A and B are shown apart, each in its own frame.
Chain A
Amino acid sequence: MIGKILIANRGEIALRIVRACRDLGIRSVVAHSTADRDSLACALADERVCIGAGPAEQSYLRGDNIIMAACLLRCDAIHPGIGFLSENAAFARQVEEAGLIFIGPESRTIALVGNKVEARRLAAEAGVPITPGGEEALLDLDDAKRSARALGYPVIIKASAGGGGRGMRIVTGEAGLESAYRLAKKEALLFFADDGLHLERYIQNPRHVEVQLLSDGQGTVVNLGERDCSIQKRHQKLFEESPAPGLDSAMREAMASASSSLFRKLGYRGAGTVEFLVDGSSFYFMEVNARLQVEHPVSELVSGVDLVRSQIEIAQGKPLAFTQRDIALTGYALECRINALGAGTIGRVRMPAGPQVRVDTAIESNSTLPAYYDSLLAKIIVSAKSREEGLSVMERALGEVIVEGVETNLDEQREILASKLFRCGKVHTGLYDEVIKKRRHNG
């Protein structure tokens, strides 16, 4: 049984986990950096422990300090949250070896799906369609040239150990291949300490659709529907919605069942996501996110399942209390991310409320926003009967938001929400640029 959890994260997601612990009657300890001493997560947790200085590599990435704190404070488990050490297989293994429960997949699963080449191979074996491309890591530049020619341009070079847009290079013709190959290799080494690369056919402006799964590692795998996360700026998601607008039911079912079989094959334990690129009537496996995701509330609202609570229950070794048949996906949910465009001192904050609105945030009026971490200020999530209704609830909600003191993307988010392209539901990953370029052109 888990009586006490150390939360190795910060911001709104740390707070989200503190709340789940409270609901379950579990004590929470927030491991924080010196910069987050006065954070809301620290204030609302049962205990807090300082694990290092502001920069993440001196605190939130210091696995040794985190594990030590968990042991000394007699915690039973560590929840890594999102980002930082959440997909670090070595950290998960150290947690296991210290006799603690890692709230997430087993370390070997994280290692397996963390390697993109390996993940693609596994996906293909589980019958999940993959983008045409090398199932093998590239040997050298000549190998890259041969593979690119065979696939046809444009192609994308990716870091095998990568993610989040890092170490990725789109190449439109052979002339650009050499420099792209060398840059990607350098970037991959820099960011992931592994310069392995692979090459795939590049799909222009696809949709980004992902399936949320829960799996107890004891044979039960359920999918909680998909999320469309196509609205992105430089690979960073801005809006996420479920169900994906205009996705036909055959593709939805195929995607869900492919994801479930992949998780079954992996013997996956915990919450996780399978990301896909959708191009017309085809969909292709992109990657497995072996952790909770920022946009998880969207799925919580359409499925009625509390994902963080489920993660903790699965980590305790409990089988899932429901099967796919018990999941009824109803209505529509949309999340809008409010990001800061710089660090500083936050002035007045007003977050929206009222019917159908959920806000996940850790900022308060007159708090400081450290420059060390990511820029997410708040997630506004609305639920509705239909997409149309959801969009107007979101419009109302965003109209209520005030964040003073730091620059935010609020105006841009309102603009996207109001755009015809978004409203008609023909979303794709190039939409952000189209809306913003059009405004600049007109303005």
Chain B
Amino acid sequence: METLESPAIETLFALFEQSSLCEFELSTERYTVKMKRAGTGEVPLVHTEAKPIESALEVEVITSPIVGTFYLTPAPDAPPYVGVGSTVKAGDVLCTIEAMKLMNQLEAEFPCRIVKILAKPETMVEFGFPLFEVKRL
């Protein structure tokens, strides 16, 4: 697969993040970058799947809905979306999973507190891979 120079892509991501755009597409001879905010299209790009864990009371695990690369930050030098102890509302972004040159933002389906981050940033996650241990609020 073709790779972009990282400063260029970082700038793109940062600009997209700050903008009010729902979708963004850039095509050059060598590559196409498409960005889309979750929840804006007809087809939801991502969803969360929560599984109860028997051993820990009230702790749930959010797993990866797709195969891709896990990122905790919107850009390498940007602060992470969430950390251990953060509380999030339903619809808040938890992480991005890059797949097929698309940055898919994974949103929380319910208000919760992050108990543990289970996946290692910048590594591959498969379908169903545990990403976050959370406590429902």
Chain A residues packing against B (C-beta within 8 Å): 34, 49-53, 59, 64-69, 71-73, 98-99
Within the assembled complex, what's the spacing in Å between the Cα atoms of A384 and B1?
A: 48
Q: How distant is the Cα of A53 from the Cα of B129 in the complex, in angstroms?
A: 12
Write out the residue numbers on chain A whose beta carbons fall within 8 Å of the beta carbon of B99: 64-65, 68
Residues from chain A with a CB closer than 8 A to the CB of B126 are 49-51, 69
Q: Which residue of A lies closest to B102 (CB)?
A: A64
Question: Which positions 102-137 of chain B face chain A at CB distance < 8 Å?
Answer: 124, 126-129
Residues of B bordering A, CB below 8 Å = 1-2, 66-69, 99-100, 124, 126-129
Whether A67 pairs with B127 at a CB distance below 8 angstroms is: no
Of the residues A50, A71, A72, contact of B127 by C-beta under 8 Å: A50
Most buried by B among A50, A67, A99: A50
| Pairs A–B under 8 Å by Cβ, sample size 12 | A34-B127, A50-B126, A50-B127, A50-B128, A51-B67, A53-B128, A59-B127, A65-B66, A65-B99, A69-B67, A69-B124, A69-B126
Please measure, in the bound complex, the distance between the C-alpha atom of A53 and the C-alpha atom of B126, giving whole angstroms. Answer: 11
Task: Give chain B nearest CB distance to A179 CB in angstroms.
Answer: 35
Candidates B1, B2, B67, B69; contact of A65 at CB < 8 Å: B67
Q: How far is the CA of A69 from the CA of B68 in the complex (A)?
A: 7
Q: Give the chain B neighbours of A34 by CB distance below 8 A.
A: 127-128
Q: Given A64-B100, A68-B68, are A51 and B127 also a contact pair (CB < 8 Å)?
A: yes
Please indicate the chain A residues that have their CB under 8 angstroms from the CB of B66 in the complex. Answer: 64-65, 68
Q: Which residues on the A side are within 8 Å of B124 (C-beta)?
A: 69, 72-73
Q: Would you give the shortest CB distance from A74 to chain B, in whole angstroms?
A: 10
CA distance A67 to B68 in the complex (A): 10
Q: Which residues of A contact B2 (CB under 8 A)?
A: 99
Q: Which residues of B contact A64 (CB under 8 A)?
A: 66, 99-100
Give Cα A411–Cα B4 distance, bound, in whole angstroms.
60
Q: Report the minimum CB–CB distance from A46 to chain B (whole Å).
A: 15
Residues of B within 8 A of A67 (CB): 100
- Residue of B whose beta carbon sits closest to that of A59: B127
Min CB gap B59→A, angstroms: 21
- A98-B2 Cα distance, complex, nearest whole Å: 8
